[in-house]
Amino acid sequence: MEYREKMQAWLNDPCIDEASKAEIRAIDDEQELEDRFYKELEFGTAGLRGILGAGTNRMNRYVIARASQGLADTILAEGPAAAKKGIVIAHDVRHGSELFTKIAAEVFAANGIKTYVFKDICPTPMLSYGVRYLGTQSGIVITASHNPKNYNGYKVYWDKGSQILSDVADRIQEAIAALAFKDVKSLDFEKGLDAGIIEYCPEALDQAYYHATLIRALREDVDKSIKVVYTPLNGTGNKPVRHVLAERGFESIHVVAEQENPDPDFTTVGYPNPEDVKAFKYAEALGDELGAELLLATDPDCDRVSMEVRHDGKYVSFTGNQIGSLLAHYILSSLYEKKGLFEGGAIVKSIVTGDLPKRIAKSYGVATFETLTGFKNICALANRWDETKEYTFLYGFEESIGYVYGDHVRDKDGVIAAMLIVEMAAYYKKQGKTLVDVLNELFIQYGYHKEFLKSLVLEGMDGAERIARMMAHFRAADYQAFGELGVTECVDFNEENPVGRSNVLKYYLDDGSWFAVRPSGTEPKIKLYIYVVDRDEAVAAKKVKALEDAVVAELESVK
């Protein structure tokens, strides 16, 4: 069916309200109409994420309701016990988040599924914890993480507290595909509360999450006077991060006033992604005014965190790999000094994350495991080890500033990561070092690990098709070298392999360097990851630049 036919069917559907239909009729840009209707917003292993608006390829109340009915049908298929265990729903600060939460709750309640709802905005890691605390069958957080203001999303969790994997996602997608809007059940939210089928989450849940976070502090021999500027980027992190830092006794935490309170338009930052140093503009200004030693930023749903450190009079930014390496070193060295590492401890990273933490872990006798991208895969190992007792999950991380320490949360957790970053900076301050000093010490010990990460943003149907052509182009070519580095192996993760299937190509080079190309699963972009290591910093930097020039040129040659 062509997009025009899909659009007309949508406009003729009596379930769609007139305001939504009027929004479509007012659009005179044919390309915009095509993008809204050329497909249905895809439900993948991360759930849904898309631009807000009317249409089949947009985030709106109808897509949310239909997805919730599909998830409800999947829960009911698990049996009466699953419906009784129920589902817990959280939301962030974005446009539509509160409305979408109520719509979803109304669908689950109408299907006889016990539904718990966080009354206020909530960080994603607390939702993960909430699934485990309440013992629910499933969980949802309404969020688009760090995307721009015109996006929202719908992330689904299963009974272990981690995001669903493909086995559950495929069942939900099949259930959604079988539904028309008229098939969706709904019970008024207030009536659901009165009937007890909908219930607000107890305050004890929040307190239990804070306790589980605080007991994982690693050291007390730190300088708690360290001066920190924190920005939640107008998201959900403000209260949770400040609470745990206050409970830890840090005396000088200063919040960026313009970015303290919820703002779904992210007025002062636009793109609320702490990976982008531009997100630190206001924090740097306040940091300069106060003489702060550490700047900290969490993304809007507070599952990711980044930092800058004052060193030699100026603020130095860090990549996600560098923060992940510093945390790996701090966690493992602290555990080792406290009680020695217990046998069977393991850290987990994704296949496109750098290798420095792997070298650090090896020096402490700790195993490193790799998974496909996404914390649903990283925490799947924690779930498996619950049963097998084969390893103990210590720490999981990705290059995209996602970290979790411990196994009480089965997703990346910006709250505990923020607590550990401040504690780590305060520990080394007491030794007269900044985190720049510590990272340089790691480079001297393990080699200079240099990296280049690039995202090519290609939106709409044309962009998706070009990304597909890029991947096909690389798969068809038999590359022998990139720049001066020879290719020793190419792993196509679309083919059978021990880690699992995914649309990723990873090229290993003859000096131990590697790079990977991967279309994003949640955003309209293709990502390039380049990693090199060398004992000579200048040589490592030269290798990165040569690979960057060669691979980017190859990608951009595909039109």
| pLDDT on residue 66 | 97
Q: Are residues 405 and 517 in the same domain?
A: no
Report the alpha-carbon distance of residue 13 to residue 268 in Å, rounded. 40
Q: Are residues 467 and 391 in the same domain?
A: no
Q: Which residues are 91's β-sheet partners?
A: 142
Q: Is the pTM of this model over 0.85?
A: yes
Task: Report the half-sphere exposure of 393 (CA within 13 A, side-chain side).
Answer: 25
| pLDDT on residue 1 | 66
* Final residue in a domain of this structure, among 193, 209, 225: 209
Q: Are residues 90 and 191 in the same domain?
A: yes
Name the H helices within 460-536.
Answer: 460-476
| E-state strands within 358-415 | 367-371, 392-398, 402-405
What region, left, alpha or beta, does residue 94 occupy, with left being phi > 0 and alpha being psi -120 to 50 degrees? Answer: beta
- The residue from 145, 162, 350, 400 that is catalytic is 145
Helix count and strand count (H, E) for the chain: 19, 21
Residues 213-248: b if buried by 16+ CB within 10 A, e if exposed: beeebbeeebebebbbbbbbbbbbbbbbbbebbeeb
Contact yes or no for 116/102 (Cβ under 8 A):
no
* Final residue in a domain of this structure, among 153, 175, 209: 209
Nearest 5°: the CA angle 470, 45, 378 is 95
Q: How many CB atoms lie within 10 A of CB 344?
A: 13
Q: Are residues 329 and 470 in the same domain?
A: no
CATH number at residue 514: 3.30.310.50
Which pairing describes strands 305-311 and 294-298: parallel, antiparallel, or unpaired?
antiparallel
Q: Are residues 164 and 65 in the same domain?
A: yes
Does any domain span residue 406?
Answer: yes
Query: What's the domain count of the chain?
Result: 3
Q: Are residues 401 and 504 in the same domain?
A: no
Does any domain span residue 271?
Answer: no
Which residue do the tokens 């305060």 mark? 426
Does any domain span residue 246?
Answer: no
Q: Are residues 401 and 457 in the same domain?
A: no
Does any domain span residue 12?
Answer: no
| E-state strands within 110-251 | 115-117, 138-142, 151-158, 198-200, 227-231
Q: Are residues 398 and 537 in the same domain?
A: no
* Final residue in a domain of this structure, among 387, 412, 437: 412
Q: Which residues of the chain have pLDDT under 70?
A: 1
145: annotated active-site residue: yes
Q: Are residues 186 and 100 in the same domain?
A: yes
DSSP state of 201: P
Q: Which residues are 140's β-sheet partners?
A: 89, 156
Q: Which long-range contacts (CB under 8 A, 24 or more apart) does 428-435 make?
A: 429/222, 429/223, 429/226, 429/293, 430/221, 430/222, 430/223, 434/293, 434/309, 434/310, 434/311, 435/294, 435/307, 435/309, 435/318, 435/326
Range of the domain at 463: 448-556
Does any domain span residue 420?
Answer: no
Does any domain span residue 424?
Answer: no
Does any domain span residue 111?
Answer: yes
Q: Are residues 399 and 457 in the same domain?
A: no
Report the alpha-carbon distance of residue 417 to residue 420 in Å, rounded. 5
Calculate the alpha carbon distances from 516 to 404, 453, 475, 540 in Å.
24, 10, 12, 18
Contact yes or no for 189/105 (Cβ under 8 A):
yes
Tokens standing for residue 142: 């309404």
Q: Are residues 463 and 401 in the same domain?
A: no
Q: Are residues 396 and 537 in the same domain?
A: no
Which residue do the tokens 């007890």 mark? 196
CATH number at residue 189: 3.40.120.10
Q: Name the nearest CA neighbour of 421 among 408, 437, 445, 405.
A: 405
Task: Report the half-sphere exposure of 2 (CA within 13 A, side-chain side).
Answer: 2
AA letter at 119: K
Which pairing describes strands 151-158 and 198-200: parallel, antiparallel, or unpaired?
unpaired
Rg of the Cα atoms in the chain:
24
AA letter at 355: D
Contact yes or no for 183/171 (Cβ under 8 A):
no
Contact yes or no for 264/94 (Cβ under 8 A):
yes
Does any domain span residue 316?
Answer: no
Q: Name the nearest CA neighbour of 514 among 318, 328, 351.
A: 351
| pLDDT on residue 70 | 98
Q: What is the pLDDT of residues 460-516, one digit of tens each?
A: 889 999 999 999 999 999 999 998 889 999 999 999 888 999 999 999 999 889 999
Report the alpha-carbon distance of residue 360 to residue 325 in Å, rounded. 8
